[in-house]
């Protein structure tokens, strides 16, 4: 959890001399709590200036006598990788006193974030240095959808002082780090297309696993059904419906099921995810006329979509709630899901996992595997099992080796 912090000196002697300060109640009647926090390496420059050895060799003995004797070479003070931070919980008085303003991150791109305050004012904000310096697994300290407290520098600019605890986080793996797409959502709309580009069941399965892990309500939306015969999609849609997932066929071009989708999004916090070119922005333009999101046609050379959304963006809906338009993803690598956890996150495989002979069975080549027996008997759809094998053998198991 990222919280409002105030950095103290890392020098242990200084901490001891001021240790009683942490026990004094602040003006709001709350005790400040000390804790050791990891920071990124080299998050600030070295404090020691010059080369002491070079100065000694040059015979400048008088200048050596003036060097501060309190500076430690062992990594204490400003050179340490751990620092002592003091935090206090902000209460309602702090938020409404004019010092801090509560809001939500609309978009985060690079060093800048756009924050929509509770009063409707939009601020261009930078992130406080201490938040950027924290040693965390994720790529960025602030993501779209975060509830934050900011300090306004002017009517349009501000600084993000605190990020409140998150829930409903959608993440993927990017270069070995956690890449959070959006935070604080309730529903995940998995947008795919019947054609141009073609349907990718493997990508749908990855998003479904993420939704199951994060306790989100997934909805599979198959767009562009005006380009194909919908009868050909019924076998696959039946498999998802049998597992309890909601499936919806839409067309942003002809308006099929747009009214139903608009009612589904009303009053909810929903993220749209899918590969490039499936029509996420087109659907949002159809749901809320006048939105004016940029759209582009699919390339005829490789049948791949073109990126029109470069960063996740929060869009308030006229009927209440909000949606997040996320960048198109052609490859979605799962985050924090091991190979042994996948079968338990798949509703059609889950009932048979505990009946296998071996408790650590991966349901690939093991003997007396209840999952493989269920596939042979037709109780588990063979295409779903093939997708499971492809996911484990192609991605997760190779990452864990």
Which range among 4-8, 137-141, 269-273 shows the weakest confidence by mean pLDDT? 4-8
Backbone dihedral angles phi then psi of residue 388, each to the nearest 5 degrees:
-65, -45
* Contact call for residues 194 and 187 (beta carbons, < 8 A): no
Nearest residue to 296 via CA among 327, 268, 273, 322: 327
**Maximum mean pLDDT: which of 83-87, 89-93, 265-269:** 265-269
State residue 83's pLDDT score.
Answer: 52
Q: Each residue of 138-178: pLDDT tens digit?
A: 667 899 999 999 999 888 899 999 999 999 998 887 767 77
Contacts of residue 153, Cβ cutoff 8 Å, sequence gap at least 6: 159
pLDDT at 199 over 90: no
Whole-number Å distance between alpha carbons of 47 and 14: 17
Separation of CA 300 from chain center: 32
Domain boundaries, the chain: 8-86, 92-170, 179-325, 339-400
Structure tokens at 356: 């296998």
Residue 142 CA to residue 35 CA, distance in Å, equals: 22
Superfamily grouping for domain 92-170: Nucleic acid-binding proteins (2.40.50.140)
Per-residue confidence band for 5, with pLDDT thresholds at 50, 70 and 90: very low
Percent of the chain with pLDDT over 90: 37
The owner of tokens 């006229």 is 318
According to the model, what pLDDT value does residue 41 have? Answer: 56
pLDDT range class, residue 8, cuts 50, 70, 90: very low
For the domain made up of 339-400, give the CATH fold.
Ribonucleotide Reductase Protein R1; domain 1 (1.10.40)
For 10, residues 6+ apart whose C-beta sits below 8 A from its C-beta are 76, 77, 78, 79, 80, 82, 83, 84
Output the pTM of the full model.
0.70
| E strand or H helix at 272 | strand 269-273
Interval 339-368 mean pLDDT: 92
Summarised one tens digit per residue, pLDDT across range 316-331 is 999 889 998 887 565 5
Q: Which fold has domain 179-325?
A: Rossmann fold (3.40.50)
Q: What is the pLDDT of residues 10-54, one digit of tens each?
A: 444 434 444 444 443 344 445 555 555 565 555 444 445 555 555
Q: Which residue has the higher pLDDT, 84 or 229?
A: 229
Q: Where are the beta strands (DSSP E) in 110-198?
A: 112-117, 122-127, 147-152, 157-163, 170-174, 177-182, 187-193
The Cα 102–Cα 115 span in angstroms is 9
pLDDT at 72: 46
pLDDT at position 32 = 52
Q: What pLDDT, on the 0 to 100 scale, is given for residue 69?
A: 46
Token pair for 99: 């010092």
| 197 upstream amide cis, omega within 30 of 0 | yes
What mean pLDDT, rounded, does the chain reach?
76
How would residue 332 be classed by pLDDT, with cut points 50, 70 and 90?
low
Split at pLDDT 50, 70, 90, the class of 392 is confident
Q: Is 18 exposed, middle or buried (0-12, 13-18, 19+ CB in 10 A)?
A: exposed
List, for residues 235-256, the tens digit of each pLDDT value.
Answer: 888 889 888 899 999 999 999 9
Asked if the model's pLDDT at residue 104 lies above 90, the reply is yes
What's the 3-state SS for 28-96? Answer: CCCECEEEEEEECCCCCCCCCCCCHHHHHHCCCHHHHHCCCCCCCCCCCHHHCCEEEEEECCCCHHHHH
Confidence of residue 1 (pLDDT cuts 50, 70, 90): very low
């Amino acid at each position: 959890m990222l919280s409002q912090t105030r950095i103290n000196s890392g020098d242990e002697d200084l901490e001891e001399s001021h240790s009683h300060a942490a026990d004094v109640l602040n003006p709001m009647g709350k005790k400040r709590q000390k804790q050791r926090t990891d920071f990124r390496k080299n998050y600030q420059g070295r404090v020691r200036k010059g080369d002491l050895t070079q100065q000694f060799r040059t015979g400048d003995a008088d200048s050596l006598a003036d060097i501060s004797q309190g500076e430690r070479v062992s990594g204490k003070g400003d050179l340490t990788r751990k620092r002592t931070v003091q935090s206090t919980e902000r209460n309602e008085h702090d938020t409404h006193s004019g010092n801090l303003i509560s809001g939500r991150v609309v978009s985060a791109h690079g060093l800048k974030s756009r924050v929509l305050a509770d009063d409707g004012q939009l601020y261009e904000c930078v992130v406080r240095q201490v938040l950027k310096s924290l040693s965390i697994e994720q790529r960025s300290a602030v993501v779209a959808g975060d509830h934050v407290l900011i300090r306004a520098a002017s009517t349009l600019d501000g600084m993000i002082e605190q990020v409140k605890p998150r829930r409903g986080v959608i993440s993927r793996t990017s270069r070995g780090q956690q890449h959070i797409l959006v935070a604080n959502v309730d529903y995940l709309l998995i947008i795919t297309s019947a054609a141009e580009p073609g349907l990718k069941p493997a990508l749908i399965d990855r998003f479904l696993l993420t939704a199951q892990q994060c306790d989100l309500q997934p909805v599979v939306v198959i767009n562009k059904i005006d380009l194909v015969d919908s009868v050909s999609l019924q076998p696959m849609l039946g498999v998802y419906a049998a597992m309890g997932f909601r499936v919806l066929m839409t067309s942003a071009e002809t308006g099929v099921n747009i009214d139903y989708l608009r009612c589904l999004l009303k009053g909810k916090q929903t993220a749209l995810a899918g590969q490039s070119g499936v029509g996420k922005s087109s659907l949002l333009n159809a749901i809320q006329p006048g939105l004016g999101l940029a759209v582009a046609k699919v390339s005829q050379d490789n049948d791949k979509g073109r990126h029109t959304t470069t960063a996740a963006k929060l869009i308030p809906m006229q009927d209440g709630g909000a949606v997040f338009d996320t960048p198109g993803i052609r490859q979605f690598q799962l985050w924090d899901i091991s190979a042994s956890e996948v079968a338990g996150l798949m509703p059609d495989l889950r009932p048979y996992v505990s009946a296998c002979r071996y408790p650590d069975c991966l349901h690939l080549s093991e003997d007396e595997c209840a999952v493989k027996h269920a596939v042979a008997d037709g109780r588990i759809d063979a295409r779903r099992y093939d997708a499971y094998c492809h996911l484990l053998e192609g991605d997760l198991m190779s990452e864990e080796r």
